[in-house]
Structure 1
Amino acid sequence: METPGGLKIETIHAFCTRVLQAAPFEANVPPRFEVADDLAQDELMRDARRDLLAAAEADPDGPQARALRFMAEHAAQDTFDQIMREALHQRAVFSDAEGRARQPEEIVSGLSAFLGIAPELTAETVRGHFNQELAAVPDLERLIAAFEAGSATRAKAAAAIRLALSEAPGIDPVAACRTGLLTADGNVAQHVRGKGNSALPADLDAALDALAACLIAAIDQLNAIAVRERSAALAVLVTHILAAYRKLKAQRSLLDYDDLIAKARSLLDRVDPAWALYKLDAGIDHILLDEAQDTSEAQWAILRRLAEEFSSGEGARELVRPRTVFVVGDEKQSIYGFQGAAPAHFSEERRLLGRRLSEAGQRFEPISLTTSFRSAPDIMRAVDAVFAPKEHWRGLVFDGGAGPERHDTVRRASIGSVDLWPVSADDAGDKPDAWTAPVDAPERRSGLVKLAARIADVLKRWSEAGRDDIGRPFKPGDVMILLRQRGALFEAIVKALKDREVPVAGRDRLTLADHPAVEDLVALGRTILLPQDDLSLAITLKTPLFGLDDDDLMRLAPERKGSLREAFRQAAESEPRYAAIETRLIELAEEAGRCGPFRFYAGLLGPGGGRNLALARLGPEAGDALDAFLSAALDHERRYGPSLAGFLHHVGAVATQVKRDLSASAGEVRVMT
Structure 2
Amino acid sequence: MSTPDPLDTANRRQAEASDPAASVFVSASAGSGKTKLLIDRLLQLMLPRRAVMPGTGEVQVLDGTPPGRIVCLTYTKAAAAEMAIRLQDRLGVWVTAEPARLDHELRALAVEPGPETRRAARELFVRVLDLPGGMRIGTIHAFCQSLLRRFPIEAAISPHFALMEDTDARLALSSAVEGELARADGARLAALSAQAGLDKFSTLLGLLQNRAQDLRPVLALSRDDRAAAYRAALGAPDVAVAHLHEARVTPSEEERLRDVLRRASEDGSPALKKTMQGLLDWLAQPLARRLETVATWESGFLTRENTPRKNGGLNRKLVESYPEAPALMEREAERLLSLRDQIAAQGLVTLALSLLDVVEPVLSRYAARKTGLGMVDYNDLIGRTLALLDDAGAAWVLYKLDGGIDHLLLDEVQDTSPEQWRIAGALTAEFFSGTGAREDGRGGLPRTVFAVGDYKQSIYSFQGADPAAFRDWRQRFQRRVQGASATWREPSLVVSFRSTAPVLDLVDQVFAQPEAARGLAEPGQTGLAERHIPARVGQGGRVELWPPVREEERDGDDDGP
The counterpart of 1:253, out of the listed 351, 374, 387, is: 374
Matches within 5 A, 1:123-272: 123-130=241-248, 134-137=251-254, 139-149=256-266, 150=268, 151-152=270-271, 154-160=273-279, 162-164=281-283, 166-169=285-288, 171-172=290-291, 174-188=294-308, 193-196=313-316, 201-272=322-393
Residue by residue over 1:264-307, the C-alpha shift from the partner in whole angstroms, topping out at 9 and shown as x without a partner, is 11111113464022232353222111111111111111001111
Secondary structure of 1:24's counterpart equals coil
TM-score by length of 2: 0.67
Match of 1:417 in 2: 542
CA contact (8 A) 1:27 1:264 kept: yes
Question: Which residue of the other structure, out of 94, 98, 110, is the alignment partner of 2:229?
Answer: 110
Distance 1:230 1:206 in 2: 36
> What whole-Å deviation, never above 9, does each CA across 1:201-255 have from its counterpart, x for those lacking one?
3222222122222222222222222222222222212222122222222222221
Query: Do the aligned partners of residues 243 and 100 (structure 1) sit closer, same or farther apart at CA in structure 2, a change above 3 Å counting?
Result: farther
Corresponding letter in the other structure for 2:304: A
For structure 2, list consecutive stretches of 5 or more residues without a partner in the other structure: 1-45, 47-65, 68-126
Structure 1 window deviating more from structure 2 (261-270 vs 223-232): it is 223-232
| 2:214 matches 1:86 | no
TM-score norm. by structure 1 comes to 0.57
Residue 406 of structure 1, CA deviation: 2.2
Aligned pairs for 1:338-417 (under 5 A) are 338-398=462-522, 400=524, 403-417=528-542
Give 3-state SS (helix, strand or coil) of 2:136's partner.
Answer: coil
Flag the 1:424–1:186 CA change in 2: closer, same or farther, 3 A. closer
d(CA) in 1 for partners of 2:348, 2:509: 41
Greater shift in the superposed pair: 33-42 or 206-215: 206-215
The one-letter amino acid paired with 2:356 is: A
Q: Which residue in 2 is equivalent to 1:620?
A: none
SS of the residue 1:267 aligns to: helix
Deviations 1:178-222 (A, max 9, x none): 244433332345697144457573222222122222222222222
- TM-superposed deviation, 1:419: 3.7
Q: CA deviation at 1:379?
A: 2.6
- In structure 2, the CA distance between the partners of 1:294 and 1:54, relative to structure 1 (3 Å rule), is same
Higher relative contact order (CA 8 A, sep 6+): 2
Deviation at 1:16, TM superposition (A): 0.7
CA offsets 1:36-88 (integer angstroms, 9 cap, x no match): 111211121122113313433xxxxxxx332113334x24xx64531442244
Is residue 421 of structure 2 the alignment partner of residue 300 of structure 1?
yes
Query: Separation in 2 of the partners of 1:170 and 1:83?
Result: 36
Counterpart AA for 1:247 = A
| Secondary structure class of the residue paired with 1:202 | coil
What count of residue pairs does the alignment treat as equivalent?
424
2:171 is matched with which residue: 33, 37, 43?
A: 43
Measure the CA separation in 1 of the matches of 2:490 and 2:551: 51
Give the deviation of 1:341 after TM superposition.
1.4
Which residue of structure 2 lines up, in the alignment, with residue 538 of structure 1?
none
Report what 1:15 is aligned to: 143
- Gapped runs of 5+ residues in structure 1? 57-63, 442-486, 489-673
Contact 1:377–1:414 (CA<8 Å) still a contact in 2?
A: yes
* C-alpha separation in 2, matches of 1:140 and 1:341: 52
Structure 1 residue 336: deviation in Å?
Answer: 1.2
The CA distance in 1 between the partners of 2:462 and 2:310, in whole Å, is: 43
1:28 to 156, 179, 182: 156
Distance 1:439 1:324, change over 3 A: closer
Once the two structures are aligned, what percentage of the paired residues are identical?
A: 31
Q: Secondary structure at the match of 1:308?
A: coil
In 2: Cα distance, 1:366 partner to 1:426 partner: 42
CA deviation map 1:10-34 (0-9, x unaligned): 1000111111122222223333221
- Where 2:485 maps in the other structure, the secondary structure is coil
Residue aligning to 1:336: 460
Q: Is the 8 A contact 1:380 1:408 kept in 2?
A: yes
In the aligned structure 1, how far is the partner of 2:317 from the partner of 2:391?
A: 73
Kindly state the Cα deviation for residue 94 of structure 1 after the two structures are TM-superposed: 6.7
Q: What is the Cα deviation at residue 424 of structure 1?
A: 5.5
Change in Cα spacing, 1:251 to 1:387, as seen in structure 2 (3 Å) is: same
CA distance in 1, matches of 2:464, 2:336: 39
